[in-house]
Structure 1
Amino acid sequence: MRLTRPRLALTGAVTVLALAGCGSGSDGGSGVPATATGSLEHLAAEVKCEPNMQTDADEIRQALCDVDDGKFVLATFATDRGQREWLNGAKDYGGYYLVGRKWVAVGEERTVTALQGTLGGTMEEGSEHMNPGGSHNKGGHDGGDHHG
């Protein structure tokens, strides 16, 4: 059987994906579970949080959660684009973001790291420009009060 270039390229891509473990549902040995999906209430239940709803709109639903590892904001989005736009704007304020498909959890590093052990997802860090040195990102607020 003679393989054409497009078929050869497709075969090569499939082989690379198989070797990389793409789509296998495994965590690659990182200890991070497969990324959770579902409604805001479902995700909150996974981490044993009773969500305190702050925004309940068609494009975004957002709640405050308080768990043993700390407080965080949990947001779900109607679209991937809406999620990315929100995340791009929010990250200007520092903090740590656990990102899943159409959801984000925002909080201190230790809180978000603990959530990742249950919800999976990818960790992203916000900008430090609001507070050089990253004290926003470390949860420390040494010195002056800049809230408000």
Structure 2
Amino acid sequence: MNVTRPMLAAAAAVAALVLTGCGGSDGGSKEASVPTTATGSLEHLAAEVKCEPNMQTDADEIRQAICKNAAGKFILATFATDRGQREWINGAKDYGGHYLVGRKWVAVGETSTVTALRKTLGGDIEEGTDHSAHVSGDPSEGATHSGH
């Protein structure tokens, strides 16, 4: 349980930052165009965004499919519990990416794709960890650690 509490605290902090960040001084008109967050089964959500889901995982806790529509290719997943969803997102964010998050569902894809999906499904956009700062642009840097 000690592992879960820090994860939940971090998720709450991220959610608070996302929510307060969206209420900027001139961002009101943009937020007004976002519809109420959709709910429903994976098939219902897929139908809302006009894609035929290619099921990858169909389990009690998570259902996950690959979808493609005019906005692009994306992963659509639904969850049995809010906690299961948040744990999945927290783990997935370590790999980067762009996440459109609703209640017990998430869509993962390129920025343009999740932005387009948001116009239909509502939800909040979350960003995964950006690892580009951890990559050195100097290929000789690795040679200093090779023992030569």
Q: TM exceeds 0.5? A: yes
Say if 2:122 is the partner of 1:99: no
Instruction: Name the counterpart of 2:48.
Output: 46
Distance in 2 (CA, whole Å) between partners of 1:71 and 1:109 is 11
The match for 1:113 is 115
Show the 5 A alignment for 1:63-74.
Answer: 63-74=65-76
Pairs within 5 Å for 1:1-148: 29=29, 30=31, 31-129=33-131, 131-132=132-133
What CA distance in whole angstroms lies between the structure 1 residues aligned with 2:122 and 2:45? 11
User: Which ranges in structure 2 are unaligned for 5 or more consecutive residues?
Assistant: 1-27, 135-148
Gaps of 5+ in 1: 1-27, 134-148
Report how far residue 132 of structure 1 moved: 2.9
Write 1 or 2 for the structure with the bigger share of helix: 2
| Residues in 1 aligned to 2:93 and 2:87: alpha-carbon distance in whole angstroms | 10
Moved beyond 4 Å, runs of 4+: none
RMSD of aligned Cα (Å): 1.6
Aligned length: 106
Partner secondary structure for residue 132 of structure 1: helix
Partner of 2:99: helix, strand, or coil?
Answer: strand
Deviation at 1:95, TM superposition (A): 0.7
How far is the alpha carbon of 1:69 from its aligned partner? 1.2
Cα deviation for residue 60 of structure 1 reads: 0.1
Partner SS state of residue 93, structure 2: helix
Q: In the TM superposition, what whole-angstrom CA distance separates every residue of 1:83-127 from its partner, at most 9, and x where no partner exists?
A: 000000000111100000000000000000000000000000000
Bigger Rg over Cα: 1
Residue deviations 1:8-27 (CA, integer Å, cap 9, x gap): xxxxxxxxxxxxxxxxxxxx
Aligned identity (percent) is 78
Match of 1:7?
none
Q: TM-score, normalised by structure 1?
A: 0.69
